[in-house]
Amino acid sequence: MRDIKVPASIVSALGLTQIIGYGTLYYTFSILSPAIAEDLGLSLEWVFGVFSLSLFVGGLSAPFIGRQMDRIGAATVMTAGSAIAAATLAVCAWSPSVAVFALAIVMLEISSGMVQYQAAFAALVENEPRTASRSITYLTLIGGFASTIFWPISAALSGFLTWREIYLVFAALNLFVCMPLHFWIMYVGKAASRLEPNRTPNVVVGALPPEARRRGMILVSFAFAVLGFTLAAILAHMVPMLGTLGFGTMAVVVGSIFGPSQVASRLINMIFGTRLSPPMLAVISALLIVLGVMTLGLSGDWLPGAVVFAICLGLGSGINSIAQGSLPLYLFGSDGYGAVTGKMAAARLAVGAAAPFVFATAMQNLGIGTALALNAALGLVGVIAFVVVATSTRRPRTTASRVSDRL
């Protein structure tokens, strides 16, 4: 059977849209939030409260978005999502009141679910299920540069543009760069269907038997939600927390290690991790995240311990992004992939939305050390759930390989 190549042009196009999508819709909010708070007459806590609410609502909308991707195609959803993202960014820039701004931010998070990893992974599965796992690894490697690119861009633009003007620039990027690329991916898919109307898709058959799928869905959704909480809690407070521990200006330096470590983990996995199954990747990512949190909790203000913490957290986060796309495909197959990932994203985003507030409360009332210990213990629960899933799977196959078995 001929080897099917990874669709490089589609992966590259999606990589660019993921950098812009995450950069404009997620990462730069923390850079612009002080100016937003001052302009709207809000405290910074209230601005982040609106953002947390938007994450929660975005999580609730994820299953519906996933079902639409299965029904009309992920690339079609992404094309519409880019237009909605551009429109809501423009409304954010115009917003004359706090109520309009809050509504726009909520709509912005819903549009994020239509254009970010959940949708991009579904587009790759839709394009070619057999190479989707490798394509997801390549895509996350490219998308990992979003914060590295857009944090300094946003900081530089803040020097001579208002936050409202910056949001208009971001709206233009989504409308004139992302939407045409998503439309092109949609067109390529439909053109291929017209040229080969009788082509049998290489559907990936999931590793879980039908009777185990409900239990597997609950376990995996729970594990991703728990790890999402653990990671979101730390990332929201990383630099201030390190400063409180006594690292001073070194807190920013230590925190900056996270990004390159995240990209490095994806590069390492791309080169050396091809023999690891998605369940094992999920277990490794969870263990690295927990190890990082435990290291910081035990090492306190010891600088090498903080460096190990940032590296482990970055490595675990990078692999976790890959697992979010490849594990559902491995366990449940390519049929209904959008709906499956939508349900998982709903649990992960809804739980993760509360993480910054809960962890901040724990640090204030129990101390940083105890808060880190509890967070690590929660992460260990996620590790156990992934291990249970990993021990109850069989190797998935494509429909094409099933045919070849009978020949």
Q: What is the mean pLDDT of residues 133-162?
A: 86
**Beta carbons of 351 and 229 less than 8 angstroms apart:** yes
Query: 354, exposed or middle or buried, with CB in 10 Å at 0-12, 13-18, 19+?
Result: middle
CA angle 29, 18, 150 (to 5 degrees): 40
Q: What is the pLDDT of residue 407?
A: 31
Q: What is the pLDDT of residues 285-311, one digit of tens each?
A: 999 999 999 999 999 889 999 999 999
Higher pLDDT, 147 or 192: 147
Task: Count how many residues are written for the chain.
Answer: 407
Range with the poorest average pLDDT among 77-81, 173-177, 242-246: 242-246
Residue 396 identity: P
Range with the poorest average pLDDT among 10-14, 171-175, 240-244: 240-244
Q: What is the pLDDT of residue 132?
A: 87
CA angle 210, 214, 220 (to 5 degrees): 115
Q: Please report which confidence band the pLDDT of residue 395 belongs to, taking 50, 70 and 90 as the band edges.
A: low
Q: What is the pLDDT of residues 87-112, one digit of tens each?
A: 999 999 999 999 999 999 999 989 99
Compute the CA torsion angle 366, 367, 370, 372 (nearest 10 deg).
130
Q: What is the pLDDT of residue 108?
A: 93
398 three-class SS: strand
Q: What is the pLDDT of residues 239-284, one digit of tens each?
A: 778 888 998 878 878 877 887 888 888 888 887 777 788 999 999 9
Whether the pLDDT of residue 404 is over 50: the answer is no
Q: What is the pLDDT of residues 24-61, one digit of tens each?
A: 998 888 778 889 989 999 887 788 788 888 888 888 89
Write out the DSSP string of 205-246: EPSS-GGGHHHHHHHHHHHHHHHHHHHHHHHHHHHHHHIIII
Q: What is the mean pLDDT of residues 188-200?
A: 64
**Beta carbons of 356 and 52 less than 8 angstroms apart:** yes
Q: What is the pLDDT of residue 248?
A: 82
Q: Please report which confidence band the pLDDT of residue 403 belongs to, taking 50, 70 and 90 as the band edges.
A: very low
Pairing verdict, β 204-205 and 397-398: antiparallel
Q: Please report which confidence band the pLDDT of residue 200 belongs to, taking 50, 70 and 90 as the band edges.
A: low
307 three-class SS: helix
Instruction: Name the pTM for this structure.
Output: 0.83
**Beta carbons of 17 and 177 less than 8 angstroms apart:** yes
Q: Mean pLDDT, the chain, as a whole number?
A: 86
Q: Please report which confidence band the pLDDT of residue 192 belongs to, taking 50, 70 and 90 as the band edges.
A: low
Q: Which helix (H) or strand (E) holds 397?
A: strand 397-398
Q: What is the mean pLDDT of residues 371-384?
A: 95
Q: What is the pLDDT of residue 26?
A: 85
Higher pLDDT, 12 or 131: 12
Beta bridge partner(s), residue 205: 397
Main-chain dihedrals φ then ψ at residue 97, nearest 5 degrees? -145, 165
Q: What is the mean pLDDT of residues 334-355?
A: 88
Whether the pLDDT of residue 121 is over 60: the answer is yes
Higher pLDDT, 359 or 166: 166
